[in-house]
Amino acid sequence: DAKTTQPNSMESNEEEPVHLPCNHSTISGTDYIHWYRQLPSQGPEYVIHGLTSNVNNRMASLAIAEDRKSSTLILHRATLRDAAVYYCILRDRGTGNQFYFGTGTSLTVIP
Amino acid sequence: DAGVIQSPRHEVTEMGQEVTLRCKPISGHDYLFWYRQTMMRGLELLIYFNNNVPIDDSGMPEDRFSAKMPNASFSTLKIQPSEPRDSAVYFCASSLIGLQQETQYFGPGTRLLVL
């Protein structure tokens, strides 16, 4: 299974943009890149996903490198409610039903 | 929709007792997943079902763990006998179909403490 590498923790000031990186150098052509986050004492929740092109939704943007070996989740204006652990996950056609969560990045938002 | 519903939210039991965790997936979802989260191992997939049939149970720790899905709206995860090392948060998730671009919706989890 393709692996992802994320920093253990990051900090951001409130109302500033946050760029959360993820490396996935062994990604295959059919792997989708998913981002989930887990707020304290809650289950993981979907943030965004993409395959090759950059993606935007109301929660965040996903920037995917041209070679797809890395991606960046962008929170445009961090709020205190965005403090969570962010997981970058690859899902391939063979194991598409299985999520392999790494350790994720714990985001602290400073008021 | 109310989302994925899990019960109980918290469970404290003594070693050796049977524990049953329950999950109601989102109506119409064909896939149901059971995960376990601990500080040491993070989030791990235990088992998942498609149309009530277990597809992959390779993540189930040992024979003390069993999962069933008697119908499309209900699943159980049972631990018998329970041990202190089973203490964890257990999440249930469901998805509409099983494609790799599909979103999984997680429940709030059951926090289990085995004394």
Burial track B35-73 (b if 16+ CB lie within 10 A, e otherwise): bbbeeeebbbbbbbbbeeebebeebbeeeebebebeebb
The C-alpha atoms of residue B3 and residue B90 are separated, in whole angstroms, by 16
Interstrand relation of B53-56 and B42-50 (parallel, antiparallel or unpaired): antiparallel
The C-alpha atoms of residue A79 and residue A107 are separated, in whole angstroms, by 11
DSSP string, B74-103: EEEEEESS--GGG-EEEEEEEESS--TTPP
Range list of β-strands (E), chain A: 9-13, 18-23, 32-38, 45-50, 55-56, 61-64, 70-75, 84-91, 105-110
pLDDT of residue A95: 58
CB neighbours of A45 closer than 8 A, spacing ≥ 6? A36, A37, A38, A39, B106
Average pLDDT over residues B31-52: 93
**CB distance A49–B105 less than 8 Å?**
no
Q: Which two tokens stand for residue B84?
A: 């202190």
Q: How does pLDDT run across B66-89, given as a tens digit for each residue?
A: 999 999 999 999 999 999 999 999
pLDDT (tens digit, 0 to 9) for every residue of chain A, 111 residues total?
Answer: 558 999 999 999 999 999 999 999 988 888 889 999 999 999 999 999 999 999 999 999 999 999 999 999 999 999 999 999 999 998 876 655 667 788 899 999 999
pLDDT of residue A101: 82
The C-alpha atoms of residue B110 and residue B115 are separated, in whole angstroms, by 16
A103 contacts on B by Cβ (under 8 Å): 42
Alpha helices in A1-111 (DSSP H): none
Burial of B78 (0-12, 13-18, 19+ CB in 10 A): middle
For residue B98, pLDDT beyond 80: no
B100 contacts on A by Cβ (under 8 Å): 30-32, 91-93, 96
pLDDT of residue A100: 76
**CB distance B103–A91 less than 8 Å?**
no
Query: What percent of chain B clears pLDDT 70, i.e. is strictly above it?
Result: 96
pLDDT of residue A39: 95
**CB distance B99–A103 less than 8 Å?**
no
Q: Which two tokens stand for residue B21?
A: 């965790």
Q: How does pLDDT run across B15-28, given as a tens digit for each residue?
A: 999 999 999 999 99
CB neighbours of A66 closer than 8 A, spacing ≥ 6? none
Q: Mean pLDDT, chain B, as a whole number?
A: 93
B44 contacts on A by Cβ (under 8 Å): 101
pLDDT of residue A22: 96
